[in-house]
């Protein structure tokens, strides 16, 4: 019985560590994009740098989302969906 209490105590604080890690990752990502936009602004000017940075960010996010959804091979980019009723009465 003493071993059960020891095992359950190992999970204490994992939520806080995960939250702090997530916050650090969010900060580092925001800092990276800010530096990237500043660097583009130096070469192309502030307005064009923001446009290029935003475009690259949107392309990156789109590719990341498609990779995430296609990992299970159940992501369809087709707008039309056909429902077929199976023998068991379920639509697939």
CA dihedral 58→63→69→72, nearest 10 degrees, is -170
pLDDT at 27 over 90: yes
Task: Please tell me the total count of domains within the chain.
Answer: 1
Quote the CA–CA distance of 49 and 40 in Å, as a whole number: 5
Q: From its phi and psi, is residue 55 left (phi > 0), alpha (psi between -120 and 50) or beta?
A: alpha
Neighbours of 31 (CB within 10 A): 10
Tell me the CA distances in angstroms from 88 to 7, 82, 83, 92, one per residue in order: 44, 17, 14, 11
Residue-averaged pLDDT of the chain: 77
Confidence category of residue 2, pLDDT binned at 50, 70, 90: low
pLDDT at 77 over 70: no
Q: Quick check: is 1 in a domain?
A: no
The number of residues making up the chain comes to: 92
Q: Quick check: is 44 in a domain?
A: yes
Q: Quick check: is 84 in a domain?
A: no
Q: Which range marks the domain in which residue 48 is found?
A: 13-70
Q: The whole model's pTM is what?
A: 0.44
Quote the CA–CA distance of 31 and 25 in Å, as a whole number: 10
Mean pLDDT of all residues in 48-60: 86
Mean pLDDT of all residues in 19-45: 87
Neighbours of 53 (CB within 10 A): 19
Q: Quick check: is 65 in a domain?
A: yes
């Amino acid at each position: 019985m003493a071993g059960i209490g020891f095992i359950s105590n190992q999970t204490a604080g994992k939520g806080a560590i995960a939250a702090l890690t997530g916050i650090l990752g969010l900060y580092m990502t925001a800092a990276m994009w800010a530096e990237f936009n500043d660097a583009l602004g130096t070469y192309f000017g502030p307005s064009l740098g923001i446009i290029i940075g935003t475009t690259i960010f949107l392309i990156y996010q789109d590719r990341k989302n498609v990779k995430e959804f296609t990992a299970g091979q159940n992501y369809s980019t087709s707008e039309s969906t056909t429902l077929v009723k199976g023998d068991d009465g379920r639509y697939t």
